[in-house]
Amino acid sequence: MNDNTQRIEQFKAEVAGMKLRDPATGLDRLLVKLGVIGLVAGPGFGIAAWFIAHGTRNPLQQRDAIVVALLGLTVAVVGGALFVKGAIAGFLRFWMARLCYEQQAQADRIAAAVGSPSGNGHEQAERVG
Amino acid sequence: MTAVHPHAPTGESDGRASTPIVELRGVRAAYGTIEVLHGVDLALRPGEVLAVLGPNGAGKTTTLEVLAGLHPLTGGDVFVAGRRVNGADPSDLARTGLCLIPEGRGIFPNLTVRENLRMASHGRRSAREIEAAAFERFPRLGDRRKQIAGTMSGGEQQMLALARGLATDPAVLVLDELSMGLAPLVVEELYEQVASLARTGVSVLVVEQFARVVLGVADRAAIMLHGCVTDVGSPHEIESKLSSAYLGG
């Protein structure tokens, strides 16, 4: 088997092993939604825990309420992380695409100005820069 | 490489039985409510070069974007290495070895040549190996390794895009308008590289508006008009049909 056949076989194996995500499920969007739910539900747990703790003099029940409050805190922190990850990923994708486009446009303008046959390239480059 | 005529039995149009490495069956795609691909059928066999020609607005770029997972399908199927990959993530497809070099080069203009090449070192090969291979294939890039990519000529930028694509060790190379905005001599030089690459067994799907050079490299060619593949055949056959296809005669 030559290198090329090997590469094609490897390609086939990798495609066969590729995990296909159903685009309809929108995992990213789902995670952001879960994050928002966590952000809202977390403090809810905390408030509920406060009422539980204040509604009883039983120390065991109050300790349970502390556990509930800590769970709420955890849910809020994880939810916040998911939300921030999703929001930042979306923003950064857009920002990077825009940056690439603007830098390409700027580089094209500079290259056009420097290479201008009109002989005033340096003047134009200074103006662009 | 074989272009499959719409509704022709897949894999038999040139008498060979090899399974297509890439196949589009009845692919439909839209921008919003406007459908731009109306059932595209194409098949690319291992180690072959397929040129897809057609005027501006025929749907060539959209076809490539659908293939690379960058644009959603509204109908039909995309098969890569025999597997249906509708909805596959573009990064997953790229990682397996399907490399798209987009129209407009797609390099990082603010990075140097070396840094651009290093961006492709996430795969199987080290940055050093990638640089060595790229500079061997395109010596001019070696001379400009520290130059900011955006300040190079259009041809050199296209060389860099090609070198970076090749650095990922692609099994299938998809080229969109390689000749765009370049001088004929540069285009010929680039297509010589594509031809030498094809000789090593990489399958190449190339989309072009300007046919002359690419038909010299292609094993088969197809004409695309109004979102459909209207003709397929040998480069010679397609060349004779091009003027009527472009001018509607």
pLDDT of residue A25: 54
Most A CBs within 10 A among B151, B166, B169, B174, hence the mutation to make, goes to: B151
Q: Helical H runs in chain A?
A: 3-17, 27-54, 59-114, 121-128
Kindly state the tokens that stand for B109: 């203009």
Residue B216 near residue B235, CB atoms below 8 Å: yes
Per-residue DSSP letters for B137-162? H-HHHHHTTTSBGGGS-HHHHHHHHH
Q: Across the interface, do B21 and A8 touch by the CB < 8 Å criterion?
A: yes
pLDDT of residue A111: 73
DSSP B2: B
Amino acid letter, residue B152: M
CB proximity list for B205: less than 8 A, separation 6 or greater: B1, B22, B42, B44, B49, B50, B52, B64, B67, B172, B173, B174, B175
- A92 has pLDDT over 90: no
Average pLDDT over chain A, rounded to whole?
A: 80
Give mean pLDDT, residues B167-185.
Answer: 86
Q: What is the pLDDT of residues B91-132, one digit of tens each?
A: 888 888 898 988 876 788 888 999 888 887 766 678 888 888
pLDDT of residue A79: 95
Here the ipTM equals: 0.72
- A22 has pLDDT over 70: no
CB proximity list for B158: less than 8 A, separation 6 or greater: B105, B178, B182, B186, B190
Compute the nearest-CA separation of B42 from chain A (Å): 19
High-pLDDT (> 70) share of chain A, %? 81
pLDDT of residue B80: 92
Most A CBs within 10 A among B21, B96, B108, B182, hence the mutation to make, goes to: B96
Give mean pLDDT, residues B191-216.
Answer: 86
Q: Across the interface, do A18 and B83 touch by the CB < 8 Å criterion?
A: yes
Compute the nearest-CA separation of A121 from chain B (Å): 14
Kindly state the tokens that stand for A10: 């490897």
Compute the nearest-CA separation of A24 from chain B (Å): 9
Residue B117's alpha-carbon distances to B83, B133, B167, in angstroms, are: 30, 10, 8
Higher pLDDT, B65 or A110: B65
pLDDT of residue B3: 45
Q: Across the interface, do B150 and A107 touch by the CB < 8 Å criterion?
A: yes
Q: Across the interface, do B201 and A4 touch by the CB < 8 Å criterion?
A: yes
Residue A9 near residue A15, CB atoms below 8 Å: no
Rounded distance, CA B214 to CA B218, Å? 6
Q: What is the pLDDT of residues B66-86, one digit of tens each?
A: 999 888 889 999 999 888 998
Residue showing tokens 């080069």: B105
Q: What's the pTM value of the predicted model, to 2 decimals?
A: 0.69
Degrees, nearest 5: CA angle B212-B214-B218: 125
Q: Across the interface, do B83 and A110 touch by the CB < 8 Å criterion?
A: no
Q: What is the pLDDT of residues B1-47, one digit of tens each?
A: 444 444 343 444 444 446 889 999 999 999 888 899 999 999 998 88
Burial B43-67 (b: 16+ CB within 10 A, else e): bbbbbbbbbbbbbeebbbbbbbbbb
Per-residue DSSP letters for B211-224? HHHHHHH-SEEEEE
Count of A-B CB contacts under 8 Å: 77
Q: Across the interface, do B150 and A104 touch by the CB < 8 Å criterion?
A: yes
> What residues of chain A lie within 8 A of the CB of B202, using their CB?
4
Most B CBs within 10 A among A2, A3, A14, hence the mutation to make, goes to: A14
